Amino acid sequence: KAGVTQTPRYLIKTRGQQVTLSCSPISGHRSVSWYQQTPGQGLQFLFEYFSETQRNKGNFPGRFSGRQFSNSRSEMNVSTLELGDSALYLCASSPSGSVGGYTFGSGTRLTVV
């Protein structure tokens, strides 16, 4: 059974640009969550989607947005990139969003220069 797939694995962008990251959940999983991991702030929750609806949102500025498609694939977008957005972005999927059932992907490493 395929795991959670995140693309791309690595990305380098320039300040002020925007970026879109993709997450393909495990087949049958309807809940997708996103986390940002940085050395300074650790792992922080961005948002959770379930059946194309955002169910929960962390404390991030509006430059961070996401969406989920009917096939449960999810994308997150960061506009007007700042140096501080450099991080590992992790996606996790679950059949129904029940805690404990989340499987994480390997992440997308974003570097903003």
Partner 1 sequence: GDSVTQMEGPVTLSEEAFLTINCTYTATGYPSLFWYVQYPGEGLQLLLKATKADDKGSNKGFEATYRKETTSFHLEKGSVQVSDSAVYFCALSDGNTGNQFYFGTGTSLTVIP
| Footprint of partner 1 on 50-109 (CB under 8 A) | 55-56, 58, 90, 92, 94, 97-100, 102-107
* Amino acid type, 51: S
Least separation in angstroms between residue 9's CB and partner 1 is 9
SS (H, E, C) 5-56: EEECCEEEECCCCCEEEEEECCCCCCEEEEEEEECCCEEEEEEEEECCEEEE
Binding mask 18-47 for partner 1 (x = CB under 8 A): -------------x-x-x------xx-x--
Instruction: Report whether 49 contacts 31 (CB < 8 A).
Output: yes
For residues 38, 43, 45 and 49, what is the CA-based torsion angle, rounded to 10 degrees? 90
Least separation in angstroms between residue 19's CB and partner 1 is 19
Distance CA 35, CA 2 (A): 21
Nearer to partner 1, 37 or 79 (CB): 37
Least separation in angstroms between residue 69's CB and partner 1 is 19
Least separation in angstroms between residue 52's CB and partner 1 is 16
Chain positions contacting partner 1, by CB under 8 A? 4, 31, 33, 35, 42-43, 45, 48, 55-56, 58, 90, 92, 94, 97-100, 102-107
